[in-house]
Amino acid sequence: MRTVLMVAEKPSLAQSIARILSRGNMSSRKGLNGACSVHEYTGSFMGQSAHFKMTSVCGHVMTLDFIGKYNSWDKVDPAELFSKAPTEKKEANPKLTMVKFLQVLDAVLPVMNKPPSTERTIFRAKFSSITDTDICNAMNHLGEPNRNEALSVDARQELDLRIGCAFTRFQTKYFQGKYGNLDSSLISFGPCQTPTLGFCVERHDKIQSFKPETYWVLKAKVNPEKESSLTLDWDRVRVFDREIAQMFLNITKMAKEAKVESVSKKEKVKQRPLALNTVEMLRVASSALGMGPQHAMQIAERLYTQGYISYPRTETTHYPENFDLKGCLRQQANHPYWAETVKALLSEGINRPRKGHDAGDHPPITPMKAATEEELGGDGWRLYEYITRHFIATVSADCKYLQTNISFSIGPERFTCVGKVVTSPGFTEIMPWHSIALEESLPCCEKGDLFPVGEIKLLEMQTSPPDYLTEAELITLMEKHGIGTDASIPVHINNICQRNYVTVESGRRLKPTNLGIVLVHGYYKIDAELVLPTIRSAVEKQLNLIALGKANYHQVLEHTLDIFKRKFHYFVDSIAGMDELMEVSFSPLAATGKPLSRCGKCHRFMKYIQAKPSRLHCSHCDDTYSLPQNGTIKLYKELRCPLDDFELVLWSSGSRGKSYPLCPYCYNHPPFRDMKKGMGCNECTHPTCQHSLSMLGIGQCVECENGVLVLDSTSGPKWKMACNKCNVIVHFFENAHKVRVSPETCELCDAALVDVDFNKAKSPLPGDETQHAGCVFCDPVFQDLVELKHAAMRHPMHRGGQGKRQGRGRGKGRRPGGRPTPKKPKDKMAALAAYFV
């Protein structure tokens, strides 16, 4: 019996598909990586009996990156990233061991049983919804993976990596080395991200440059009956000259009656909406539901994997001829909110949806099964409700209404009033927010009728500037200019928010920050094509041609990189132009921040710059030192590093989180070969420094394989030890007077012993004893005094239900500083590890 391996993109999807194909008769087990399950069942594949193994990946399996040495910002010229720097595909999340768990395509082929040369072994199943019909139909019409589409994705990845990293590294280092209040940890550039920001700044510039103009409008009211009035609109709309406006007012005031010049009635149609695609869904989610694009996309994906809607990433607004519209509609026939409308459509006959655009990807977004507000709740329900109402509207009738226009003359001037009466509400019954706005009821009249003029007045008004772009308007502009895809548009918008280039104001309007404005103005000053959508739009067209097999992958890649490489060199040579704008908006490093700790070189105070990225700057030496982010920094007891005489600082993630001291110089310039940039004292291998790993390390981490639990000597009286690699924190010996790490080690597990001095009044020791030395993990006296109370975050290596794992020591079982690397104590470690399960 042959074995068939099937892989879905998410664990929940794998479970749903396996349940459908096995008709519920399957066995399930956890995979070796603990994150993905394997569902097994027996069935038929291409006319033969087969044993199926259904599993999944968790997001992207591989990602593109530069090889190791080219990831150093300090040692690599960004210009080398365009051609010299080799790239490689790496595991997107190594801690999931996804490649080991599931070797995909090229890596799987070598270990597969070799079939006859004419027989295919790799298939792709295409479906757009998690329904029995769609899944079974996909299995009966398997195709091959499209190599051209894969090459198009590879080209886009490599272009974005090389171009984005080169510009980002250069401008980040250049500007963060000069200014202290940029308030952004990364001054990023992206071929799609930057034009997206450009749209926002362009609108900002229009607002700033706008000069209001005064204009005048004539407003007239007539009285068809004694107690009723009708407001008329001036056919000239407005005039910008006050004297002329006053003249028109004087002329019309001379007339006492308004004469009906014409009455016209015309039946008009408001068309039902096109079928729903991703971009329109994101627009409505932002403008009507108040959801950001990325948040809306996450909710839509969840609704899809749960089987409530069809695949939410599609550019298509046209249903294929064989799409079961009635079947989808019947699913909603008993829904309490729209059952009546749906039943009427099914009995009277549905209308064929309007002909839209067929992009050849997936059908429009469609509800696949009924759901209630209680079932989905919150934003999930709100998005599902909109998708369902939109679908019902596409198969409903158009809205029809009768529009009446009455034209009046008051003296020589013409005025008009318009009235609308709905004759058939059509789709607006299910989408009431699209209903025809109610107008004033118009009197029955004919040409030549006269009505007394009730009032004529001249209104003085001013033109108003445009408002900041909404997310919905930005999405429209991105789609129009070909910036990003339906899948990446939310990512680009989210990026400019995360980088502090724009802020989201009320009404989900995007207001550029000073940084965003200066960057865009700088690009315009140096090379406008870096921010205009034209060049990226042209690149996207080439990438689409690769996917269609009409353009050569290597030629497109080489040509595009050559263009941007030339632009990069010109940008570097002309950076002074952007710097002039930066100088006006931001403060130099020397004028930013507050004095905190002393420099080891000049012994003057360095300033702590709290704005992102937080760092220390010595204005005398003109040196800047990076610090750990997303925490607080304070001076550490005025103690100094024995290697360079810099005062130590203490980083803390919060009152109950991790904290550790660090030397600003060592953190940026590792003093030992086995250290890397960004390591604090809790990872320092100095053999005698009282703050180093060598002196404070206790035992190997219960969660990760490479971490060591290090005593936090500042944590008393609520003492704790924390892993120097992951986020595990172990609390112990609460209210102890002093805790010290002994040079001796445990005979059972090789962990360092600890000496604990307890306060006499609160000592847990027998009798009058207040001191005890022993192993945190093995000593029975300490058994009840060690408790895993808190972990700031669940460590990503956690594997539910696996229990203890064996760790590996550093180099022949020795800890830095000469102590043996401790083994993981079996019983206590298993108990602590089980706390996470």
> What is the spatial distance between Cα 472 and Cα 474, in angstroms, rounded to a whole number?
5
Q: What is the SS3 assignment for 539?
A: helix
Max CA-CA distance within the chain?
Answer: 114
Q: Return the structure tokens found at 738.
A: 């002093």
Q: In sequence order, what E strands does 693-748 have? A: 697-700, 708-711, 720-723, 728-732, 736-745
> What is the spatial distance between Cα 209 and Cα 272, in angstroms, rounded to a whole number?
39
> What is the spatial distance between Cα 700 and Cα 345, in angstroms, rounded to a whole number?
67
Residue type, 167: F
Q: Return the structure tokens found at 772.
A: 């005890």
HSE (side-chain half, CA atoms, 13 Å) at 368: 23
- With a CB cutoff of 8 Å and minimum separation 6, the contacts of 40 are 26, 27, 28, 29, 51, 52, 53, 54
Closest CA relative to residue 694, chosen from 657, 642, 654 = 642
Compute how many other C-beta atoms are within 10 angstroms of the C-beta atom of residue 703.
27
Instruction: Give the helix/strand (H/E) hosting 376.
Output: helix 373-376
Closest CA relative to residue 32, chosen from 83, 79, 101 = 101
List, edge to edge, every strand of the sheet that includes 632-640. 632-640, 647-652, 659-662
Backbone angles phi, psi at 124, to 5 degrees: -130, 130
> What is the spatial distance between Cα 514 and Cα 517, in angstroms, rounded to a whole number?
5
Peptide bond into 320 cis (omega under 30): no
> What is the spatial distance between Cα 538 and Cα 572, in angstroms, rounded to a whole number?
24
Q: Return the structure tokens found at 697.
A: 């390390």
Q: What is the SS3 assignment for 776?
A: coil
- With a CB cutoff of 8 Å and minimum separation 6, the contacts of 635 are 596, 597, 647, 648, 649, 650
- With a CB cutoff of 8 Å and minimum separation 6, the contacts of 453 are 220, 221, 222, 223, 255, 256, 257, 258, 410
Compute how many other C-beta atoms are within 10 angstroms of the C-beta atom of residue 30.
14
Strand partners of residue 146: none
> What is the spatial distance between Cα 107 and Cα 795, in angstroms, rounded to a whole number?
28
HSE (side-chain half, CA atoms, 13 Å) at 358: 8
How many H-runs (helices) and E-runs (strands) does the chain carry? 21, 29
Strand partners of residue 401: 268, 422
Q: Return the structure tokens found at 663.
A: 């030397």
Rounded alpha-carbon distances, angstroms, from residue 470 to 123, 495, 570: 43, 16, 34
Closest CA relative to residue 82, chosen from 153, 152, 156, 164 = 164
> What is the spatial distance between Cα 475 and Cα 493, in angstroms, rounded to a whole number?
9
> What is the spatial distance between Cα 392 and Cα 326, in angstroms, rounded to a whole number?
10
Residues forming the active site:
311
Question: Is residue 642 within 8 Å of 687, Cβ to Cβ?
Answer: no
Closest CA relative to residue 87, chosen from 149, 147, 165, 148 = 165
